[in-house]
Chain A
Amino acid sequence: MSERTLEGCHVLIVEDEYMLAEELSLALNDAGAVVVGPAAALKDALSLIKSGEKVDAALIDVNLRGESAYAAADLLLDRQIPFVFTTGYDPRIIPEKYRQIPTCEKPVNLARVTSAIGRLVSS
């Protein structure tokens, strides 16, 4: 399979669609990462971030069951944890404030997501 570019890296997945969360988990596992979550709802994501569990990077779906995930994004920014947005909406709906955050449009290209996280973690 792919190279284990994320060996030992703890990656939080926030994604409400089970199958997509599963797929991402598998891809990240294959790249050597330890998956944190996945979380399907904002409150689960927030409590995972606050729980003190090791998180090196995160993958956040902008929309969770009709709820926006920006609260989780803000918490990660506070804690200086790098993350990537995924979205099924037009990326232009993402507020100006998060312009520097890398964004992957759905359906996500697993290799691209993995390498985007890899870049975040290494920088």
Chain B
Amino acid sequence: MREHGVIALVNVPIFLPGRVAYGVLQVDATRPRDFDDEDIAFLRTYAMVLGPVIDRFNKARDLAHTTERYRLIVQNARDYAIFLTDAEDRITDWLPGAEAVFGWSEPEALGQPAAIIFTPEDRRAGVPEEETELARRDGKAPNVRWHVRKDGQRVFIDGQTTALRRADGVVTGFMKIGQDVSERKKAEEATRGSEERLRLALESGHLATWDWDLASGKIEWSEEHFRLQGYEVGEVEPSYEAWLDRVHCEDRAEVLKALGNARDHGAAYRVEFRSPHPDGTVVWCSALGRFFYDEQGQATRMIGVMQDVSERRRWEAQQEVLVAELQHRTRNLMGVVRSVADKTIRTSADLTDFRERFSDRIDALARVQGLLSRLGDQERVAFDQLLDTELSAMNAHGKSIGLHGPRNVRLRSSTVQTLAMALHELATNAVKYGALGQADGALTISWRIELPASRGEPWLHIDWSETGVAMRADERPQGGGQGRELIERALPYQLGAKTTYALTPEGVHCTIALPVSASNQDGERTNVRADA
């Protein structure tokens, strides 16, 4: 300092507001001198004034820096559309990000209403106005929706509108910042679409699903899973225990074996079990699933689907019964055929006689089988139908036959064969020896249904009456042969029928009363009236 000729100096500290030390004000003199009180007072005042001035300079510099920084950030934020509007929501500032996102250049955008970036449908619905209103009221308004670019393409914006206010609170405009999240949105919608499709497919197929995290034991069930096991949706926390609880106890061993096998061998878990519901119904569930494993081969997760197969099971059971019934009927029928052959042999004069009568009876049996096999599950052969089949086969129509009785008296299926054989024998005899074989003969078949007084079953009363027959004892077989035996013995034995059989001077008179299907108690019947 001496080199510079400084001989005397004085230092005064400078403080920024808040008594923050900033530095020292130094005054040098090249001539020896003293600094008197007046000098000190001046310098002190000077330093005091200097503090706030320096402070203001600092702040101005910081502000400039900050503003520059913000400008850089905002201008380079290409993924973010940022723009400002005035109080009428007309664009005043259009930053490069906004141009990148919406396609409008700055000159094109300036002065336009902010509504240009809204979709036509949103504009019609007044969405832009609603949004600024909300921002005016609450300071901010979310803006998360599809917008439209200059070229008409849609962009999904996740953004926000902020009201800009003066110090006195008056709104001077709005700042709008938003991010183009179209790709994410599209991916989300695609995912939601495929999830929705999967959900719909599962629902349409009534497929229940489960997802079991073996580490935590946590299981997720679809709504259908709850329902298949007789739970209200959400009634229980899905768990292994809740599942097993609704697996029929008789099926548990098999189900658990299948589960263990699938887990230990990586095989498909495929099993059917009954699920007993609290209301007493039992649902057959068909489950299909598989385990997933970690790198150590430890099972970590199991996923699967389950379906209600009760109907299929019912059909299978029904089919099994039908097959067994068919087998039973066939075997019995073979026995009947053998017995018919045996009896026909006993009463046949020779083989020609046997052949004619035996094939006649076999044909009658075949006709009955035809009637029975055409029936649906709940259907029954009607008496008039059976009678018609038999008389048609005998070529008896057109002859002098009177039919009087209600149509559609439903016969029990178990009685049809024996009754048909009896009618066949009666008709055969009538053609050979009786009313249907003689010019003056007449046959009247009348029937009625007797409904039970209280409990019990309806009965069908049949009256077979031949008249005008010239009885020739020598021709007619003794006692009416097989027809008479069927009526007097087989029908009572097998069907619990009450029968009479008489040879009157006019011809055969036979009555048959037998219990018929209980379904005859309801339903309408019309009368058959066919007199010839």
Contacts and interface: CB of A to CB of B under 8 A. Distances in A.
Interface stretch (B140-148, B205-213, B321-329): B321-329
Contacts of A90: 324, 327
Interface of A: 16-23, 38, 40-41, 63, 65-66, 87-90, 93, 105-108
Nearest to A62: B328
A24 to B, nearest CB: 10
Interface residues on B, range: 20 to 34
Interface in B331-388: 331-332, 334-336, 338-340, 342-343
B414 interface: yes
A2 to B, nearest CB: 14
A106 B328 CA distance: 8
B328 A88 contact: yes
Interface in B446-466: none
Given A89-B327, A107-B338, A20 B490 contact: no
A40 B495 CA distance: 9
Given A19-B335, A22-B339, A65-B414, A88 B329 contact: yes
Contact of A107 (B329, B331, B490, B493): B331
B336 A21 contact: no
A63 B324 CA distance: 12
Contacts of A41: 496
B327 A17 contact: no
A47 to B, nearest CB: 15
Given A20-B339, A38-B493, A63-B328, 11 more contacts: A18-B418, A18-B486, A20-B335, A40-B493, A41-B496, A88-B329, A88-B332, A89-B324, A90-B324, A106-B334, A107-B334
Nearest to B325: A89
Given A66-B414, A88-B329, A108 B335 contact: yes
Interface of B: 324, 327-332, 334-336, 338-340, 342-343, 414, 418, 486, 489-490, 493-494, 496
8 contacts: A19-B490, A20-B336, A23-B338, A40-B493, A41-B496, A90-B327, A93-B324, A108-B335
Nearest to A40: B493
Contacts of B339: 19-20, 22-23
B324 A17 contact: no
Nearest to A93: B324
Contacts of B418: 18
A97 B496 CA distance: 31
Contacts of A21: 493
A105 B342 CA distance: 19
Contacts of A105: 331
A18 B418 CA distance: 9
A89 B335 CA distance: 13
B414 to A, nearest CB: 6
Contact of A106 (B332, B343, B486): B332
A20 B327 contact: no
Contacts of A18: 418, 486, 489-490, 493-494
Nearest to B323: A90
